[in-house]
Structure 1
Amino acid sequence: MRWLFAAVLALLAHPALADEVRPMALDFTEQSACQWTLTWKQPVATGAAAFVKVQPPDNCAFIGEPIVRRANAAYLGSAELQCEGPVAGKGFGLEQMAPGSDALLRVAPLDEPVQSLRLSASEPSATILAKPDRGQVLRSYFVIGAEHILMGWDHLLFVIALVLLVKRGWAVVSAATAFTVSHSITLAASVLGFAGLPQGPVEALIALSILFLAVELTRTDRETWTRRWPWLVAFAFGLLHGFGFAGALSEIGLPQGEVPAALLAFNLGVEAGQILVILAVLALRASVARLAPKAEAPALKFATYAIGIIASYWLFDRVLF
């Protein structure tokens, strides 16, 4: 129980992490022959420094000092660079990246296709390609999607609460499928410009959806309609979570010409992360039931109230601040 209690305290202490665990986003764009601009958005959680130091291609040099400013939970910056010759085949890297952090670099040469490169603490540099590689786009956005569900605590708690509420095998499958279908619909509709909601209300409603499931978990004395038709609840709330995923994806951006591939890969990454969470929760609950059956009910009660407390805190934080 100690690790779960510590996790609760950590989440309450850092409410901004609920949906701010996003990659650092950089945009490297050619404005005219030899003239490039670099802009970036670095979530505060990705590093302690105001700016993770950039290693541009070796034929590029900064013109003056980068401009950095703080905005909400991120650092925003811009810089001008002079590049002698093409950057294709050259390396682009970042220094002083925090462990576990990553970044998505968008490279946009004049009159050439845009490409996206993923950088991470373990692989902080990448080579700019002469021709964008679709496989690279698929790999980058798949990883980002998986990271978002595994490190985005609000979506993660919703999935955990849903599995704890349903608990039966086929019911879990149907609920998870309904959640997948619904958030895929709103994610695609929002990213492609067919629908959209302000992120503030969406984030508050996502917290409310978690609180709703926590309340349902406490109602063990009756067969509620949520327990009878969990797939319907999962589908309804999945529509909201899809708008939340779209907000995170809009912060990162999509490569021109590869929007369908990037969107598909991101969504598949989300689903892969979701499946891992579901399997882990089912395995943990089965292990507790088999090895310590008397502890199952107290553990479920503790988890229910922990989820409810965290969701309530997020709800008030997102509504009031």
Structure 2
Amino acid sequence: MLNTVFKLLFACVLLMPGALLVSATAQAHDARPLYIQITELDKPDFENRVPVDHQYSLKMQVPPSVEAGNRPFLTLPDNCSHERFGLIIQLSCASSLAGQELEINYPQFNPSITTLIRASFNSGATYQTLLSPSESRWQIPTEQSTSAVISEYTVLGVEHILIGWDHLLFLFCLLIISGSFKRTLITISGFTLSHSLTLVMTTLGVVELPIAPVEAVIALSILFLASEIVRDRRHTLAWRYPVAVSMLFGLIHGFGFASVLQDIGLPQTELTTALLFFNIGVEIGQVAFVGAVMMLFFLVRRWQAFPLAGFQQLLIYSTGSLAAFWTIERIAGF
């Protein structure tokens, strides 16, 4: 086992230039959307009860994929003024932002990323939307429907799993090591149950782990499965009981899913709905990926001239090398 891991680490060193390029585009949590949080502040209690403008704090989290010279800015209604305090912008508006239109602008060009905007008011109402890369305007509603929350968080869950290359590579290794359709179904179901458990518990604040070690262990889980497949010793725990491995590491992957959801935030008035449908979105994306890979392998097997064994070995060595690089990179980032 250790000898195989060392081989994969050595291969990682040889492939380091290419891995650097791949890592820049394939990091699981770097492709997050632009996140804008607007929070209404409590009004000061003046004894003379002179009318006070509506006060808000504005915080913007820009993903690493956006260049420093192209950081976005928000165009506000005409009756709002703003003042910056570090990373926080304080807004003062003559009327409530509810029902008002916001616009996202980029100084140079649209980087084609999604945008999540969340607006919280003193009344307890929380409105939010997920804008596609082609959308730049949003009118804050006066009342948010449950159907809007369902739609937005389902899409967000699907997008997250499909851009999370570390999660997808782990699923790919599970498919290889499971073998039959029945074992694959059981193994993937175990992964789903376990990561759903930690996703819910972390989001609700029951348990909490620092994200840096979690992401390192996620990369290590891919390296572990890749080395097991390369060794091809069918008597090991991973080969005999892949569902045990999928459930064990699924708990860790759930913390990774939860970290993204915590960054984005949840509407407090629709907490259960948003959490449920984000998880459903993750599962939809997961099923779509598994189905696509299984269909690809089915078609390749029917093409008798195709060197399937060699192609599969190339994929596994590439996966293991990239996982080894991620492991080293993430541990070094502690």
TM over 0.5: yes
User: Conserved in 1, the CA contact under 8 Å of 2:198 and 2:254?
Assistant: yes
- State whether structure 2 residue 310 is matched by structure 1 residue 291: no
Q: Does 1:201 align with 2:213?
A: yes
Rounded Cα–Cα distance in structure 1 between residues aligned with 2:134 and 2:180: 39
Q: Which amino acid aligns with 1:55?
A: T
| SS of aligned partner of 1:279 | helix
Aligned to 1:23: 33
In the other structure, the counterpart of 2:267 is 255
Task: Please state if 1:231 is matched with 2:280.
Answer: no
Contact 2:19 2:325 in 1 (8 A): no
Describe the SS at the equivalent of 2:37: strand
The 1:289–1:184 alpha-carbon spacing in structure 2 relative to 1, beyond 3 Å, is same
1:112 CA displacement: 4.1
| Aligned counterparts of 1:171 and 1:219: Cα–Cα separation in 2 | 20
Task: State the alpha-carbon separation in 2 of the partners of residues 44 and 142 from structure 1.
Answer: 24
Using structure 1 for the length normalisation, give the TM-score.
0.88
Which residue among 160, 166, 170 is the counterpart of 1:158?
170
**In 2, distance between residues paired with 1:60 and 1:184?**
44
Structure 2 unaligned regions, length at least 5 = 1-14, 44-52
Determine which of 242, 247, 251 is the counterpart of 2:254: 242
Deviations 1:23-73 (A, max 9, x none): 2221111223422221111111145545212122x2443324x567xxxxx
Residues 191 and 288 of structure 1: is their aligned pair in 2 closer, same or farther, counting only changes over 3 Å? same
The answer as to whether partners of 2:219 and 2:326 remain within 8 angstroms in 1 is: yes
Structure 2 SS opposite 1:45: coil
TM-score w.r.t. the length of structure 2 is: 0.85
- Superposition map of 1:273-312 within 5 A: 273-312=285-324
* Alignment partner of 2:97 out of 67, 87, 108: 87
Offset at 1:254?
1.0
Which residues in structure 2 correspond to 1:178-197 (within 5 Å)? 178-197=190-209
CA contact (8 A) 1:183 1:243 kept: yes
Shift of 1:273: 0.6
Shift in Å, 1:170: 1.3
Deviation at 1:213, TM superposition (A): 0.8
Work out the CA distance in 2 between the residues paired with 1:24 and 1:248: 12
Residues 161 and 78 of structure 1, relative CA distance in 2, 3 Å threshold: same
Could you list the per-position Cα deviations for residues 212-235 of structure 1 after superposition, in whole angstroms to 9, with x for gaps in the alignment?
A: 110111123534321221111111
Instruction: Report 1:69-218 matches (<5 A).
Output: 77-96=87-106, 98-218=110-230
Corresponding residue SS for 2:119: strand
Q: Which amino acid aligns with 2:301?
A: A
Q: Which runs of 5+ in 1 are unaligned?
A: 69-76
- Name the CA distance, whole Å, in 2 between partners of 1:9 and 1:317: 11
The CA distance in 1 between the partners of 2:128 and 2:308, in whole Å, is 46
* 1:285 Cα deviation after fit: 0.9
Task: State the 1:294 CA deviation.
Answer: 4.0
Which of 57, 63, 67 lines up with 1:37 in the alignment? 57
- In the TM superposition, what is the alpha-carbon distance from 1:124 to its structure 2 partner? 2.1
Q: Report the number of matched residues.
A: 305
Aligned to 2:81: 62
> In terms of Rg, which structure is larger?
2
- The superposition leaves residues 96-125 of structure 1 with CA deviations (integer Å, 9 ceiling, x where unpaired) of 374541121111122241122212212222
Q: 1:277 and 1:16 mapped to 2: Cα distance?
A: 16
Q: Structure 1's 231 and 100: CA in aligned 2 closer, same or farther, altered over 3 A?
A: farther
- The amino acid across from 1:132 in the alignment is Q
The structure whose residues are more often strand, as a share, is 1
Output the CA distance in 1 between the equivalents of 2:173 and 2:75.
43
User: Secondary structure at the residue paired with 1:62?
Assistant: strand
Q: Alignment RMSD, CA only? A: 2.1
The 10-residue stretch of structure 1 (23-32 or 262-271) with the greater mean CA deviation from structure 2:
23-32
Q: For 1:78 and 1:268, locate their aligned partners in 2 and report how far apart those are by CA, in whole Å.
A: 33
- Distance across 2 between alignment mates of 1:62 and 1:300: 59
Report the identity percentage: 35
Shift of 1:286: 1.1
